[in-house]
Structure 1
Amino acid sequence: EGNTQVAVEAGQFLDTADDVAKLVVGNFGERPVLLGDVAAVTDGPDDVDTYTFLGVGPAAELQGIDTDAFPPGSEYASVTLSIAKRKGSDATRVTDEIKAKVEQLRGRLLPEDVQLTITRDYGATAGEKARGLIQNLALAVFLAVIVIFFAMGWRGATIIFLSIPTTFSLTLFIYYMMGYTLNRVTLFALILVTGIVIDATIIVVENIHRHFKMAGRSSLLGALQAIQEVGNPTIMATLTVIASMMPMAFVRGLMGPYMKPMPIGASLSMVFSLLVALTISPWLAVRLLKSKDADKLDSTGGFADDPEFAAEETGYKLHDTAIYRGYDRIMRPLVDSPMKGVVALLIVAVLTGASTILFATRTVQVKMLPFDNKSEFQVVIDTPEGTTLETTTQLAREIGDYLATVPEVTDYQVYAGSASPVNFNGLVRHYFMRSQPNQADLQVNLAGKAYRSEQSHAIAKRVRGPIQEIAQRYDASVKIAEVPPGPPVLSTLVCEVYGPDHEGRVAVAQQIKDIFDGTDGVVDVDWWIEDPMRELKFTVDRQRAAVRGVSVNQAAQTLAVALNGYDGGLLHVPEAAEPVPINVRLPLADRSSAEALEELYVYSQAGALIPLADVVTIEETTIPHSRHRRNLKPVVYVTADVAGALE
């Protein structure tokens, strides 16, 4: 127009639910039929497919919950926000900064009547563990130095004290170069070898100390002679320790990368401790450990070549020391008399064999890693397939009501139809995939270790029985999942059933499951086979559908829209951050039975309404079991835990 371009806009966006209700979808006579005349148009949330609640326990005050506004035993709808740190960042610092930011938002973004509770703080846990390990490391170093102080005096203790941080500093530098962070595993590796890394230094320094007390040797010559005497045995002893630890670095599976920093750190510490013992420690010994008779040395750097004169001058005789006399009194008879030596070896062999009986009699319980005293555990709920979300939620809330009576519980969270924020166990057990209506989790938080007398494992064992009783009323499977002390596994007991056909694998797995159920001390028995779930299969009769002018795709789409809904457009609300979908679906009552679905109508190609029942047949079947494979081989898993005399 006028040799210029003009933008043309037709129609307008839908802004409100009232705009949608006023859409014309047809006419009756000369009167238009509005969408609001044939459908209920509401602006609100979608159908509920998940439930989350926060329950308040008797020890809620320890978690910072206002028990006046939120009394123990109460339960509230909640929203969970999960935050993960980036790789390489400090978890403790990240959580501290998040807490500070939350405090800034209180009263400005967060209303005063909204309770915000930190239900899981792994940054604080990591900080607590790191501080505890560092304290243990400092205590180990202190005790080692004290022992050396009484044996060799303050000069010898000073040498040992300086050698330990030197060794660990070199180890931590190599850790840094290899990409390892300072965490619980690497710190534990340093504690593990604290008593070992000072062995080489103690051997060398003690022998130098002995030579300095002997006659006829100056500090330099005595140090060289001392190292020549114990150098080779010290090197061999160090290599032996490294050889015993390094195989752990080649463990396969999840345990391998989890434990790998430990053998690497321990081996590096041993190598550096040997270097320190053969270089820095002798240099310090020459500077700090002075021969008490140094002023009597002749011009050659030693006493006269008369040993008797040297002994008289120094007054030090090895054979007269208390340690030598005691050791000689015990060992000389065994060396001089072959019979006594054989008897001593037999006694050692008998005692060694007797010690192994302690395992057979269960006098000593053996396990790879002991239970840690954590402040949380998880309740994992699986109801039979086909159970509605509301029934699953009801079961979870009943368990929550019981947990609200346990004195050590500060709070708990219920997640029904949705996975709880993934934790250490969930990485392997795939808890993050639990999003079905028949699945629920409860995350239970306990009071800190200083505020309860029982270990978390004992509390988990105590609540298992009452929780199982509640679950039995719903025919549900419930498991108590504790935070593992080491890398997570599928379960304590895992049986893998392989076979040529699925039915045979299921039959054998059922027998194993029955054995687990009948074994005392075996709990939380489960298998990776779903319960049979009803399935209604609508099969379109192609011939009848063709006669009535209905396509198979059209019938399937009608069912899909009726059951799942259909996003027909977007509502552009000015104050909304994102467009709001306009979802079209049948009311719940009209899609809750096969009879209701049969009453649906499908448009034919001629525009006529054809009852869905005229073109489909309904068959009731069961959904096939899921199939699992391990190394490409079909397998059925049977899992269980242990709780009792042996665990």
Structure 2
Amino acid sequence: MNRVARPLITSVPGVASAEISGGAPPAMRIWVDPAKLSGRGLTASDIAAALRANNVQAAPGQLKGASTAINITAGTDLRDVESFRQMVIKGGDAGGLVRLGDIATVELGAQNYDARALSAGHKSVTVAIAPTPDGNPLDIVSGVKALLPQMQRVAPPGLEVRNQFDTAHFVEASIDEVAHTLIEAVAIVIVVIFLFLGTFRAVIIPVVTIPLSLLGTAGLMLAFGFSLNLLTLLAMVLAIGLVVDDAIVVVENIHRHIEEGASPIEAALLGAREIVGPVIAMTITLAAVYAPIGLMGGLTGALFREFAFTLAGSVIVSGVIALTLSPMMSSRLLHARMGEGRLEKALERVMHGLTGRYVRLLGRTLTTRGAVLMAGVLILGASVVFFLGAKRELAPQEDMGYVFVQTKAPQYANVDYTARYSAQVEALFHKVPEYADSWFDVGGTGGANIGFGGIIMKEWADRTRNADQIQAEIAGSTSAVTGVYATAFQDSPLPAGSGGLPVQMVIRSADDFPEIYRTLEAIKGAAWGSKLFAFVDADLAFDSQEAHVSIDRAKAGELGVSMAEIADTLALMVGENYVNRFNWHDRSYDVITQVPQDRRLTPDNLGAFYVKTGSGSLVPLSTVASITINPQPNKLPQFNQMNSATISAVLMPGVTMGQAVDFLKAQPLPPGTTVDWLSNSRQYVHEGNQLTVSFAFALVVIFLVLAAQFESFRDPLVILVTVPLAVSGALVPLYLGFTTLNIYTQIGLVTLIGLISKHGILMVSFANEMQHTHGWNRAEAIAHAAAVRMRPILMTTAAMVAGLVPLLFAGGAGAASRFAIGIVVVMGMLIGTLFTLFVLPTIYTLLAGDHRAKAQATSHHAPSDGEPAHA
């Protein structure tokens, strides 16, 4: 593995490291028999001295003549097991020669035996591959898989080399699901547009916008160096509903002029001229709303930068197409006789009837403005309740196709103990009906008492249960395994930084460790009692054991036993330290002396080791030392150069990261004690509020953009008044528990700002035009604008909602995040559209500016601003 697999894997572009688990580099292991050693009058120091004297890796140099140079090699080192066995330890006296093989078992073994690995129940060696910060997981996995046949060819007989597990499979499956969703969304949007327009000739115009906008967006992505990944594909799914909006508005306006008697070319020119201002305003507004997301820092910015700029690019491209290609196509495809078909007539009757009912309802609404305002205030109050009551997390938990399990044995347990019980846990994986593969590693960086593994499940389409249900089954079955505490949890769908259990709270203090431990235990007890956590653990505990060798220096001095002799004996017999190195297959490896494991099981074994006195005789170590067992902390951790302890936890099913972090933050701490966070909880604490700031920033950006477009500060207020009302609708499914407040739902809320603003722009710009050209007052102008713009508003809402329907019924990999963003935008659009049609006209009559042209004021009678007009 070290000579072939690791060099090959680390050569793959994007690989940062390749850590081997379950195996170790080769070493010459010398298993000393203490009884034979002392029986020959020898100690561990004699073995070390003989090895240093007889196994020397020399570099003699060169012979240099007048014109030649000859390298010198000297056979002063030992290179195979037999040479080490035959090495003389003692000789020349009446007792004859004593060779190393006489007092020890010599074999080519491993440098250490501190780790174990299982693969599908079989012994294995695993290689954990970590990417560089800018490494592409898909490219890395593809590169590593291409190397597997080469590694298999050089592997020993009976050794299988395979790719067991990679997180890129989830990414690939998610991309495939989003690609299918993209196709479904296009088909649904086409059907919805047809149902509104009633003719294929009219449908062709906005439908053509979809592929052209997506191709234009792909060109922008190529220019900016963006990749076709999960988030950019998700941006394209959202873009399907967005890119047809402007074309729908243009086509509907041209169609309206044709119905009023204009020729197709005249209608195209007039309709495009009327709508150019609103379309530009809508395009700039919706593109600007993503600027705060694209400019964010941290993990959220890194994840969503390409998403934001992809959406903004698609909106800009669609706006250009709507003002250029759509009018031209309308002049060729639309004509005055389009409404003569049975379906067209039926649709027109429905739309005229709907418009009539809307106008009557709007008229009543404008006469009861006080009640409308009161309802708006109540809804805003309810939105605060919805927001505060929504569960929070950084990202929704995805079914990633695997479940992790960690086992923890008592602190004093060795690798053999932990591996034995971890194997029992791994065996339970095979009983899960959705089982496809599994692995388990013991030891390594987690320590001898920690095991970590996982079950890989069948493909999403091949099983009916999700990861949450399988996790619950594993948690229940593994609880019956005695000897270790097993906890099942799922991986974060986002890069998790330090890794480990999802919740990690670091307690830092200048106090000593016993004081930190008391604080730690109080928080652990409260966490267990809260019922929020399925597992709670800490890295600081006073449950380790220390075998302390107390030396009677007076007696040692009397016998002539030096401290160096005692230290060398313990290090060479127990410590697994290397004495020197040997060459094997052109590489250098350790030579290690140690007694077999069965000779170092208890403290009494240490006292039986012999040390040499000043006279050359041997005495047991127990003659000059006593061994006592003392408790000690398992470790003395530090964080940012301060004494610390870390609480690690796994959440109960249905509990979010926000609930866990809020609970832990509320726990009392002694003065001078601070906290920090690691793993997924660190992401949540540091990234969770960034999008909230972006939401507020997006409102400011849109307000300034609209103020510049309308040359007024009042009209943008009217347009944006429905945004918080739409947000209240979007928060309802979060409050009811359908999803959580996370980065995906927050992205949906930011998107909602731009979408709802487009409706307001359509209505307010037309009402202002009516004031200016006809001298109507605000009530009359907004009533007429609402009646005329109702159809394009409903059409754009329907197209957007229809494009997101596949997200609401998403399944497979990445379904949770797609559902989260889809449900927010859909609910927000439906509720926001309703408020746009009724609340916005009311606010317009109260806040909008007076755009009537004074110079054109005539004897035309206009009702007062509070009086509704008749369309």
What's the TM-score, normalizing by structure 2?
0.58
Partner residue of 2:431? 405
- Match 1:390 to one of 416, 425, 429: 416
1:137 to 2:148 alignment: no
Query: Which of 194, 206, 209 is the matching residue for 1:163?
Result: 209
- Cα distance in 2, alignment partners of residues 50 and 494 from structure 1: 25
Number of the residue aligned with 2:90: 26
Q: Is the 8 A contact 1:376 1:456 kept in 2?
A: yes
SS at match of 2:126: coil
1:323 is aligned to 2:331: no
- Partner residue in 2 for 1:584: 593
Confirm or deny that 1:289 pairs with 2:333. Answer: yes
Provide closer, same or farther for how the CA distance between residues 343 and 396 of structure 1 changes in structure 2, counting only shifts above 3 A. same
* CA spacing shift, 1:524–1:245, aligned 2, 3 Å: farther
Query: Which letter does structure 2 place at the counterpart of 1:532?
Result: D
| Residue equivalent to 2:122 | 76
What are the within-5 Å matches in structure 2 for residues 173-572 of structure 1?
173-217=219-263, 219=265, 221-249=266-294, 253-286=298-331, 288-292=332-336, 322-335=350-363, 338-344=366-372, 346=374, 369-418=395-444, 433-434=445-446, 436-470=447-481, 473-474=482-483, 476-488=484-496, 495=505, 497=507, 499-501=509-511, 502-530=513-541, 532-538=543-549, 555-572=566-583
For the structure 1 residues 218 and 577, does the alpha-carbon distance in structure 2 shift closer, same or farther, using more than 3 Å as the test? same
Contact 1:539 1:618 in 2 (8 A): yes
Q: 1:204 to 1:530 in 2, by over 3 A?
A: farther
In the alignment, the residues of structure 2 paired with residue 34 and residue 630 of structure 1 have an alpha-carbon distance, to the nearest angstrom, of 50
Q: Deviations along 1:486-519, whole A, 9 cap, x unmatched?
A: 4447666555545552544433332222222123
CA offset digits 1:433-466 (Å, max 9, x no partner): 43x1111112211222223221111110122123
More RCO (CA 8 Å, sep 6+): 2
Change in 2 beyond 3 A, CA 1:549/1:238: farther
> What is residue 310 of structure 1 aligned with on the other side?
none
Alpha carbons 1:25, 1:35 under 8 Å: kept: yes
Q: CA deviation at 1:479?
A: 2.4
Identity %, equivalent residues = 22
Identify if the C-alpha distance between structure 1 residues 331 and 347 changes in structure 2 by more than 3 Å, giving closer, same or farther: farther
- In structure 2, give the amino acid aligned to 1:449: W
CA change 1:10–1:269 in 2 (3 A) is closer
How far is the alpha carbon of 1:380 from its aligned partner? 1.1
3-state SS of the aligned residue for 2:175?
helix
Q: CA deviation at 1:482?
A: 1.0
Counting helix residues as a fraction of each chain, which structure ranks higher?
2
- Indicate the residue corresponding to 1:428 in structure 2: none
User: C-alpha separation between the residues in 2 aligned to 1:606 and 1:203?
Assistant: 106
User: Do residues 151 (structure 1) and 196 (structure 2) align?
Assistant: yes
How many residue pairs get matched? 579
Over 3 Å counting, the alpha-carbon distance change for 1:469 and 1:604 in structure 2 is same
Separation in 2 of the partners of 1:407 and 1:532?
Answer: 39
Contact 2:543–2:632 (CA<8 Å) still a contact in 1? yes
Contact 2:231/2:306 (<8 A) preserved = yes
Cα 1:323/1:580, change in 2 over 3 Å: same
Q: Is this contact kept in 1: 2:283–2:316, CA < 8 A?
A: yes
Deviation string, structure 1 residues 147-192 (Cα, Å, up to 9, x no partner): 2234343333333233223322333333344443222122112213
Q: For each residue in 1:582-638, what CA deviation from the matched residue of structure 2 results, as whole angstroms up to 9, or x when unmatched?
A: 332223244444343344455678877676567767565444465666677765443
Q: Contact 2:411–2:449 at 8 Å: present in 1 too?
A: yes
CA distance in 2, matches of 1:144, 1:103: 46
Which letter maps to 1:23?
A: M
Q: What is the CA deviation profile of residues 521-559 of structure 1, one whole-angstrom value per residue up to 9, with x for unaligned ones?
A: 531222343453122345778888778777656644443
Match of 1:53 in 2: 118
Gaps in structure 1 of 5+ consecutive residues = 56-74, 295-315, 419-432
Compute the RMSD of aligned alpha carbons.
4.2
Partner SS state of residue 406, structure 2? strand
CA deviations 1:298-355 (Å, max 9, x no partner) are xxxxxxxxxxxxxxxxxx99xx975345224323443366444444555566567668
Q: Is the 8 A contact 1:14 1:570 kept in 2?
A: no
Deviation at 1:142, TM superposition (A): 2.0
Counterpart amino acid of residue 333 in structure 2: L
Native 8 Å contact 1:565 1:586 kept in 2: no
User: How many Å apart are 1:378 and its aligned residue?
Assistant: 0.9
Distance in 2, Cα, partners of 1:170 & 1:390: 61
TM-score by length of structure 1 reads: 0.75
**Letter of the aligned partner of 1:189 in structure 2?**
A
1:126 aligns with 2:171: yes
SS in structure 2 at match of 1:29: coil
Letter in 2 for 1:478: A
Decide whether the 8 Å contact of 1:95 with 1:123 is kept in 2: yes
- What displacement does 1:248 show? 3.6
The 3 A distance-change label for structure 1 pair 582 and 369 is: closer
Letter of the 2:243 counterpart: V
Letter matched to residue 98 of structure 2: V
Change (3 A) 1:218 1:202: closer
Q: Aligned partner of 1:378: which letter?
A: F
Measure the CA separation in 2 of the matches of 1:404 and 1:159. Answer: 56
- Offset, 1:133: 0.9
- C-alpha distance 326-477 of structure 1, shift in aligned 2 (>3 A): same
- The residue number in structure 2 matching 1:300 is none
Bigger Cα displacement from structure 2, 29-38 vs 498-507: 498-507
**How many Å separate the matches in 2 of 1:605 and 1:267?**
85
- In 2, Cα distance between the equivalents of 1:235 and 1:469? 65
Give the 3-state SS of the residue equivalent to 1:275 in structure 2.
helix
The one-letter amino acid paired with 1:165 is P
Using the TM superposition, give the Cα deviation of residue 47 of structure 1 relative to its aligned residue in structure 2, in angstroms: 5.0
Q: Map Cα deviations across residues 373-403 of structure 1 (whole Å, 9 max, x no partner).
A: 3321110122232211111112211212322
Q: Cα–Cα, structure 1 residues 603 and 182, in superposed 2: closer, same or farther, change >3 Å?
A: farther
Q: 1:10 to 1:110 in 2, by over 3 A?
A: closer
The one-letter code sitting in structure 1 at the alignment partner of 2:117 is T
